């Protein structure tokens, strides 16, 4: 089942990151490049780095220039994350290219890779909520509340994992088909973001 592989690799990536727990620690993927394992591990590593960037930038005492620097790093990381999700979908498209969809087949609300993206974020929520539920310097009430939230997250993972496996099975059986839309993000594109293209006009005297 693809969800079991995802959950295993996401947990491994999160554990590996927290050995050093440094955003800029040199990343080494233990899996063979271009394999699904390589892609899934890298996907979660990006998510884990970005999780911690988001923590840093929410410091209310952060210097404005420092905060802007982190915000731009988060934007770049988010673009890398999006590109990788689309690459994972390309992997599935290649896997299923010989499957003939049934006449009554339906398209899913999201592609396999975007569902897997949610599973990756969920793995991070579970890891950090478990930390809070076991944090001995926090109050008993805090640990109890976080323990209850952890139970909900674990159930969400079970449900989402099942849904992903069912989606893959439906695609393999021709009951559903993949239809992937590129994200077509506009804010990073200097020709589509009005702030950026108006800035360029000003620079060029337009």
Residue 183: the pLDDT is: 62
Average pLDDT, rounded, for the chain: 92
Residue 188: the pLDDT is: 62
Residue 26: the pLDDT is: 85
The pTM of this model reads: 0.88
Residue 181: the pLDDT is: 74
Residue pair 111/63 in contact (Cβ under 8 Å)? The answer is no
pLDDT tens digits for 38-51? 999 999 999 999 99
Residue pair 36/93 in contact (Cβ under 8 Å)? The answer is no
Q: Where are the domains of the chain?
A: 2-186
Residue 129: the pLDDT is: 98
Residue 113: the pLDDT is: 97
Residue 106: the pLDDT is: 94
């Amino acid at each position: 089942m693809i969800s079991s592989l995802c959950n295993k690799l996401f947990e491994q990536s999160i554990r590996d990151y927290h050995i050093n727990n440094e955003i800029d620690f040199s990343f080494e993927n233990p899996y063979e490049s271009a394999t699904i394992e390589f892609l899934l591990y890298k996907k979660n590593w990006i998510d884990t780095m970005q999780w911690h960037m988001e923590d840093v930038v929410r410091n209310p005492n952060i210097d404005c220039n420092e905060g802007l620097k982190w915000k731009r790093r988060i934007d770049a990381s988010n673009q890398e994350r999006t590109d990788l999700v689309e690459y994972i979908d390309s992997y599935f498209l290649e896997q299923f290219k010989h499957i003939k969809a049934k006449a009554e087949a339906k398209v899913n609300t999201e592609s396999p890779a975007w569902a897997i993206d949610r599973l990756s974020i969920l793995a991070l929520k579970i890891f950090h909520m478990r930390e809070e539920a076991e944090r001995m310097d926090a109050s008993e009430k805090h640990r109890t509340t976080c323990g209850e939230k952890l139970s909900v997250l674990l159930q969400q993972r079970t449900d989402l994992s099942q849904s992903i496996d069912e989606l893959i099975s439906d695609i393999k059986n021709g009951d559903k088909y993949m239809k992937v839309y590129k994200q077509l993000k506009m804010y990073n594109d200097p020709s589509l973001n009005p702030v950026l293209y108006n800035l360029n006009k000003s620079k060029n005297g337009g």
